[in-house]
Amino acid sequence: MGVIINNQNTKTLGFALVGRPNIPSAEKRYESTEVEGRDGSLTRFLGYEDLKFSLNFNILFQDDIKQKLREIKGVLAQARTLSFDDSPNFYYKIKQAQISETESVIRASGVFSVEFIAEPYEYETSATGNYSVKSFTIANKTTTTALPVIKIYGSGTVVLTVNGKGITLTDLTTDITIDSNLQEAYSGLTTNMNSNMNGEFPILKTGNNTITITGNVTKTEIDNNWRWLT
């Protein structure tokens, strides 16, 4: 089994996975509050902990391990996504990757471990959906909610309604992107349009999601950002 980091297989970069990966399940976070006169505590679900796991690798080309280590450290420093080649359509979003062994140990054995910290979800690679109609349904077949990226091409005032919750978009000239993951609204790569949006960033719940759009709109593009609990 190969490991793919930032869309590159580590085998082509000079290091390969040793053994099978053991990815744990995401752990839930809770807040407990003791209330006087009440049996037991009040418990509130806060979300999921970061996913932490370790992968073992060996260096394939050992002519100059010290130089190869420099290159591997550079790859890990830029790690943003990680997947396995037996399941290439699913990936983890990496927050941090760190080699755990010392350089002397690695140079002696050619084997090292990498500690990864990732978001607590496995993301699914999917194509962006294009919609020319102003009312449609999107089915979320995953195990948790999704934070979509919605790009609307239109002008003037547009109202986007997702599962009954309306978002008013004003003073549009060409397009606006509503990024629920980043919690930002923008046009192009640099134009901030948060002030043109009134409402909460949409969430796609599990099951069917009803979406309607009113106003002068020519097309809507939606990257669903499907994700699964690990």
The per-residue pLDDT of the chain, averaged, comes to 92
Q: What is the pLDDT of residues 126-168, one digit of tens each?
A: 878 999 999 999 999 999 999 999 999 999 999 999 999 999 9
What's the 3-state SS for 153-211? EEEEEEEEEECCEEEEEEEECCEEEEECCCCEEEECCCEECHHHEECCCCCECCEEEEE
What does the pLDDT read at residue 204? Answer: 97
Number of H helices, E strands in the chain: 3, 20
pLDDT band, residue 28 (cuts 50/70/90): confident
Q: Token pair 């002068």 is at which residue?
A: 216
Name the pLDDT band for 30 (thresholds 50, 70, 90): confident
Q: Which of 39-53, 91-105, 214-228 has the lowest mean pLDDT?
A: 39-53
Q: Where does residue 122 rank: exposed (0-12), middle (13-18), buried (19+ CB within 10 A)?
A: buried
Distance CA 100, CA 146 (A): 33
- pLDDT of 37 > 90? The answer is no
Is the pLDDT reported for residue 39 higher than 80? no
Domain extent listing, the chain: 3-123, 126-229
- Checking if the pLDDT of 50 tops 80, the result is yes
The pLDDT of residue 43 is 83
- CATH label, 126-229, candidates 2.60.120.860, 3.40.50.720, 3.40.50.920, 3.10.20.30: 2.60.120.860
Higher-scoring residue by pLDDT: 194, 23:
194
**What are φ and ψ of residue 218, in 5° steps?**
-100, -30
Selection from 4, 204, 28, 208 nearest residue 86 by Cα: 4
Instruction: Using only the alpha carbons of the chain, give its radius of gyration.
Output: 22
Tell me, what's the pLDDT at 210?
97
- pLDDT tens per residue across span 70-120: 899 999 999 999 999 889 899 999 999 999 888 888 888 888 999 999 999
Mean pLDDT of 32-57: 84
Helix (H) or strand (E) holding 111: strand 111-118
Contacts of 107 (CB under 8 A, 6+ apart): 65, 66, 69
CA separation for the pair 69, 107 (Å, rounded): 9
Q: Tell me, what DSSP letter sits at residue 134?
A: S
pLDDT digits (tens, 9 = 90+) for 180-218: 999 999 998 889 999 999 999 999 999 999 999 999 999
Instruction: Tell me the fold of 3-123.
Output: Elongation Factor Tu (Ef-tu); domain 3 (2.40.30)
Mean pLDDT of 60-72: 84
Q: Cα–chain-centroid distance for residue 142?
A: 14
State yes or no: pLDDT of 67 exceeds 80. Answer: yes
Burial of 12 (0-12, 13-18, 19+ CB in 10 A): exposed
